[in-house]
Amino acid sequence: MSIQQAVNSAPDKSERRFVIRIKAGVYQEIVRIPPSKTNLMFVGDGMGKTVITGSMRVPSLPGVPTTYGSATVAVNADGFVARDITFENAAGPGSQQAVALRVDSDLSAFYSCAFLGHQDTLYTHTLRQFYRNCRIEGTVDFIFGNSAAIFDNCLILVRPRQINSNKGSSNPVTAQGRTDPAEPTGFVFHNCTINGTEEYTRQFYANPKIYKAYLGRPWKMYSRAIIINSYLGELISPEGWMPWIGDFALDTLYYGEYQNFGPGAKVSGRMPWSNQIPEINVGMYSARSFIQGDEWLPDTIN
């Protein structure tokens, strides 16, 4: 039975958790979880052991030439949980947008999962999401979307845009897409590590002047991203953040940092339109406050 067949066999509109156990192996398939499959859970045998992989990408998709449609796994049902699984889009560094996982699932959570891709790896499209002890790799805008998402103790690694390139590159990690100041959305990173893969680090140290990594750039007008108590590697540019194009959204975005550490965490060179969060405001970015985690993640956040 394929993973998709198992999803199709799950009960519709379930109010109880329904678990699909996915044994170790590489599963080359495209998986779609429709809105009716609520409270579904994928459990694998471990990050790197249970791998769901595809290679759809923009603009080569037949009939669906969109970033949204390129996902290897797409979740549209509320209450989805995954544990100990790798989600991969193997389209390669020369490709354009190629999503490993897209999530339109309120109250969704991911534990000890890996998300591997290049441009646009993890599409946290909408609603409340929680990621803990996960590994996320990509090149450009590889954590993006307009969800309210908490990333706790995650390893976030920049990959090379081109193998053995002497041209250099600019690699923004996030592209958050909040379109209205009233939206309760944004990305919050707690106790994470933001660094480079071995391949990227090797290229960076060979020529640090032409390899630049950034914490994020504003995809939409009210983009919001927060980095708290996290390690920032040397590859993070002193500016910290980069514009999208020109001065777009620079007066309306909110990019904030609080008590980060590591060689990339020095704040003296940060862009003037980014912020150092006052201590009194840090609590509003906890899982309890930002995604109401005490209501649906009590065992996780307590």
- In sequence order, the 6+-apart residues with CB closer than 8 A to the CB of 21 are 43
Residue type, position 272, single letter: P
Catalytic residue among 141, 152, 180, 299: 141
The pair phi, psi for residue 131, each rounded to 5°, is: -130, 125
Nearest to 144 by CA among 118, 120, 111: 120
Report how far Cα 187 is from the mean position of its chain's Cα atoms.
9
Q: What angle do CA 108, 113, 115 make, to 5 degrees?
A: 95
User: Has 141 been annotated as catalytic?
Assistant: yes
Alpha helices in the chain (DSSP H): 3-9, 198-206, 287-290, 293-296, 298-301
Q: Which positions are catalytic?
A: 141
